């Protein structure tokens, strides 16, 4: 049986930490908790479970904090739970069985992160695989019978363990602040982080956030060769232009997106723009495309509730009560299915 070091970074998690740790009973052989500046009872709660509690000065860098925690680990594998995660009884049993039977050549175990849509996270799906369990010390081996080379790709196992994500609050504001700081200090974002920045903006960005992000994403939209990032950048700039009521810039970047199949976000933004101008037939066309003809890139609501609400409003304003009522019924059914 393998041994596991659970390595956590926490800050002001008094509402959820005990819930998380209680759900992990039997999983860890060593619990390491790194606190990045709590002002509540987080450390007091942590002390009920472990004496391996360390302080780490927060420097707006989650990787630095996680690396600090992992450097303290001594077991075979490292598990990286967040305080707002839970393992229910069935998945804890699956994890315990995995712990007993895991083959030593497996270096990374992925687990399904679930419950994403309920809490306004930056993901447009309710389940996704994430690497959560890592072999602490990696053994390098040569492969191939001729022209031998060292195997660099890790051996990854996709488990059937579901980790339930139940945050008390959405952290997008904090994350957006970190992105802004990196850019303002002359740093650069990887393609992955730039995509995350765009998604966070489209889910919970405020007017000031869009204003601050516009120069960065205009530069990205005018230069990147990455198709997904290009679409996200155009979406952000289009939304920012709509907020500023700048139709020239809105249409310029919306058309860039539409030229590559378009996205639900761009169509719904255009629907709202034409609705605000009183061009209700044009608004209906774009809301329809946002709902039925395109896929979301950053925020699933631009493909579901937002265009449906727009269609309800537009057809009601046009005096077409029957069509408005049909979209309202669809909206009600959609909202009911989300709460079941």
Q: Give pLDDT, residue 121.
A: 47
Look at residues 207, 220, 209, 210 and name the one whose alpha carbon lies nearest to residue 177: 209
153 and 185 in one domain? Answer: no
Q: What is the mean pLDDT of the chain?
A: 91
C-beta separation of 308 from 277 below 8 A: no
The DSSP-derived string for 284-323 is: HHHHHIIIII---SS-GGGTTHHHHHHHHHHHHHTT-HHH
Q: Order of strands, edge to edge, in the sheet holding 85-86?
A: 53-55, 30-35, 4-10, 77-79, 127-135, 108-114, 156-165, 85-86
User: Is residue 122's pLDDT more than 50?
Assistant: no
152 and 182 in one domain? Answer: no
**Secondary structure of residue 47 in the 3-state scheme:** coil
Contacts of 19 (CB under 8 A, 6+ apart): 86
Q: Give pLDDT, residue 107.
A: 95
User: Is residue 16's pLDDT more than 70?
Assistant: yes
C-beta separation of 124 from 300 below 8 A: yes
192 and 44 in one domain? Answer: no
Look at residues 112, 116, 115 and name the one whose alpha carbon lies nearest to residue 133: 112
According to DSSP, the β-strands at 149-150 and 142-143 are antiparallel
- How many other β-carbons are positioned within 10 Å of the β-carbon of residue 139? 9
Going by pLDDT thresholds of 50, 70 and 90, the confidence category of residue 103 is very high
Percentage of the chain beyond pLDDT 90 is 81
- Give residue 289's domain range: 261-340
Q: Give pLDDT, residue 123.
A: 47
H-assigned helices in the chain: 17-23, 42-46, 62-71, 89-101, 172-184, 191-204, 207-221, 227-244, 247-258, 264-276, 280-288, 305-317, 321-339
315 and 250 in one domain? Answer: no
160 and 24 in one domain? Answer: yes
DSSP at 136: S
Boundary of a domain, candidates 165, 190, 210? 165
C-beta separation of 199 from 215 below 8 A: no
158 and 35 in one domain? Answer: yes
Q: List pLDDT tens digits, range 70-93.
A: 999 999 999 999 999 999 999 999
Boundary of a domain, candidates 137, 165, 193? 165
**Domain containing residue 69: CATH number:** 3.90.550.10
Region 123-151: mean pLDDT is 80
Choose the weakest-confidence range: 109-118, 133-142, 328-337: 109-118
Q: Give pLDDT, residue 125.
A: 52
**More confident site: 203 or 5:** 5
150 and 36 in one domain? Answer: yes
211 and 146 in one domain? Answer: no
pTM: 0.74
Q: List pLDDT tens digits, range 211-244.
A: 999 999 999 999 988 999 999 999 999 999 999 9
Q: Give pLDDT, residue 145.
A: 75
156 and 9 in one domain? Answer: yes
281 and 183 in one domain? Answer: no
249 and 122 in one domain? Answer: no
**Secondary structure of residue 206 in the 3-state scheme:** coil
Q: Give pLDDT, residue 173.
A: 66
Q: Give pLDDT, residue 246.
A: 96
Boundary of a domain, candidates 239, 256, 273? 256
Q: List pLDDT tens digits, range 41-72.
A: 999 999 999 999 999 999 989 999 999 999 99
The DSSP-derived string for 218-234 is: HHHHTT---HHHHHHHH
- Please give the C-alpha separations between residue 35 and each of 30, 65, 181, 305, in angstroms, as whole numbers: 16, 9, 22, 39
Q: Give pLDDT, residue 242.
A: 96
Sign of CA dihedral 41, 44, 50, 54: positive
C-beta separation of 26 from 51 below 8 A: no
Q: Give pLDDT, residue 204.
A: 87
At 76, list the tokens.
């075979």
Look at residues 39, 35, 6 and name the one whose alpha carbon lies nearest to residue 21: 6
Choose the weakest-confidence range: 112-121, 160-169, 299-308: 112-121
What's the total number of domains in the chain? 3
111 and 235 in one domain? Answer: no
**CA gap 42, 257 in Å, rounded:** 45
């Amino acid at each position: 049986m393998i041994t596991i070091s659970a390595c956590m970074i926490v800050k002001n998690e008094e509402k959820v930490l005990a819930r998380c740790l209680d759900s992990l009973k039997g999983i860890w052989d060593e619990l390491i908790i790194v606190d990045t500046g709590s002002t509540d009872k987080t450390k007091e709660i942590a002390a009920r479970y472990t004496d391996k509690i360390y302080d780490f000065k927060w420097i707006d860098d989650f990787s630095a904090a996680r690396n600090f925690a992992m450097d303290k680990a001594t077991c075979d594998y490292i598990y990286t739970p967040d305080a707002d995660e839970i393992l229910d009884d069935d998945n804890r049993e699956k994890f315990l069985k995995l712990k007993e039977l895991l083959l030593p050549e497996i270096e990374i175990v992925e687990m399904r992160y679930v419950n994403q849509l309920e809490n306004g996270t930056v993901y447009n799906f309710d389940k996704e695989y994430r690497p959560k369990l890592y072999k602490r010390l990696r053994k390098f081996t040569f492969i191939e019978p001729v022209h031998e080379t060292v195997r660099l790709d890790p051996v990854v196992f996709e488990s059937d363990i579901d980790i339930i994500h139940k945050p008390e609050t959405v952290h997008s504001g904090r994350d957006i602040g970190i992105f802004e700081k990196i850019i303002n200090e002359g740093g650069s974002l990887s393609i992955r982080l730039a995509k995350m920045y765009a998604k966070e903006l489209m889910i919970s960005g405020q007017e000031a956030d869009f204003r601050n992000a516009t120069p960065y994403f205009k530069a990205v939209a005018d230069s990147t060769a990455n198709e997904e990032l290009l679409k996200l950048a155009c979406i952000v700039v289009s939304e920012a232009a709509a907020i500023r009521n700048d139709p020239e810039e809105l249409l310029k970047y919306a058309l860039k997106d539409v030229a590559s199949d378009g996205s639900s976000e761009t169509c719904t933004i255009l629907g709202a723009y034409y609705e605000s101008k009183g061009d209700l037939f044009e608004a209906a066309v774009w809301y329809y495309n946002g709902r039925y003809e395109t896929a979301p890139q950053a925020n699933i609501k631009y493909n579901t509730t937002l265009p449906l609400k727009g269609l309800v409003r537009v057809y009601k304003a046009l005096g077409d009560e029957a069509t408005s009522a049909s979209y309202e019924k669809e909206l009600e059914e959609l909202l009911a299915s989300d709460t079941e």
